[in-house]
Amino acid sequence: MIDPNLFQLVCFYAFAAVTVAAALAVITLKNSVHAVLALVLTFFSAACVWLLAEAEFLAIALIVVYVGAVMVLFLFVVMMLDINQEQVREGFIRFLPVGIVVALVMLAEMLALIGVRAMRAVSMGPNPAEAAGLSNTAWLGRALYTDYLLPFEVAALILTVGVVAAVALTLRKRRGVRHQDAGEQVRVDPRSRIRIVKMDAVRAQAPAPKEPQA
């Protein structure tokens, strides 16, 4: 019988490896549609890692919101932009060696600093939701609307600013653009569209008989 702790550890490393590999694919794949699909895989495997950490609600939210909605939007945008693949990747090979060196140095430094110790580190603390005897979602909701109420409201303010900024930067009134104005269409009055002309009935005059040829 396999040890559940060991099984969990193996799952964690498997999902983490897939996450990192997919994230690498996002920035290395030439085709941007493929890159977006790789990003979907990244999110999905990150959600799996969260499930392992017993954060079920966040995992499901990640899949529903990011994979389901945001990434589909991304795909649409990428397809609509129709980017020329050759031009985008021009500098890639040239800067690749430098990039790899920097990445390796950073990796080595990070491993030296935290990686080795993390192996010995204690595992995650007790699940606070379980300790409180609540389901994951209920506990999250309670934390969000009591302890973290103020940050939650400030986040809403940030979204408001996002809307204001988007409108301020994109809404402009152009002259001479042909577009439909729904309000105008609804308010239309039949009299402004059809003019009913009353006139006396006139009998159509028969064409004048042709003059007989002489």
Partner 1 sequence: MPNLTDLLILLPELYLTAAACLLLLLDAFIRPEQRNVLHWLSLAVVLVAIYLVVANQPPFPVTAYGGMFVRDGVAEILKVFALLCTALVFVYARPYLADRKLYVGEFYTLAIFATLGVMLLVSAGNLVMVYLGLELLTLSSYALVALNRDSAQSSEAAIKYFVLGALASGMLLYGMSMVYGATGTLALAQLHGAAAHTAMPNLLVFGLIFVIVGIGFKLGAAPFHMWIPDVYQGSPTAVTVFIGSAPKLAAFGMAYRLLETGLGDLAPHWQQMLAALAVLSLAIGNLVAIVQSNLKRLLAYSTISHMGYLLLGLVNAGPEGYAAAMFYAISYALMSTAAFGVILALARAGFECEEIDDFKGLNQRSPWLAFLMMLAMFSLAGVPPLFGFFAKLLVLQAAIHAGMLWLAIVGAVFAIVGLYYYLRVVKVMYFDKPVEGSEVRVQPDAGLRVLLSVNALVLLALGLYWGPLLGWCRAAFPG
Contact 65, 34 (CB under 8 A): no
Tokens of 213: 């040829």
Torsion of CA 58, 121, 101, 10, to 10 degrees: -60
- Point out which span in 28-36, 83-91, 147-155, 185-193 binds partner 1 (CB under 8 A): 147-155
Determine if 164 is a binding residue for partner 1 (CB under 8 A): yes
Q: How many residues sit in the footprint of partner 1 (CB under 8 A)?
A: 27
Neighbours of 59 (CB within 10 A): 20
CB of 87 to partner 1, least distance (A): 19
CB of 65 to partner 1, least distance (A): 19
State whether the Cα torsion 53-57-60-62 is positive or negative: negative
- When binding is defined by CB under 8 A, the residue of 5, 85, 146, 213 that contacts partner 1 is 146
CB of 155 to partner 1, least distance (A): 6
Determine if 208 is a binding residue for partner 1 (CB under 8 A): no
Contact 58, 50 (CB under 8 A): yes
Q: Is 176 left (phi over 0), alpha (psi -120 to 50) or beta?
A: left
Determine if 93 is a binding residue for partner 1 (CB under 8 A): no
> Which string of x and - marks every residue 100-129 that binds partner 1 (by CB under 8 A)?
----------x--xx--xx--xx--x----
Q: Hunting for tokens 């920097």 — which residue is that? A: 102
Neighbours of 40 (CB within 10 A): 20
Task: Read off the amino acid at residue 9.
Answer: L
- Point out which span in 56-64, 128-136, 166-174, 180-188 binds partner 1 (CB under 8 A): 166-174
Question: Applying CB under 8 A, which residues contact partner 1?
Answer: 110, 113-114, 117-118, 121-122, 125, 146-151, 154-155, 157-158, 160-162, 164-165, 167-169, 172
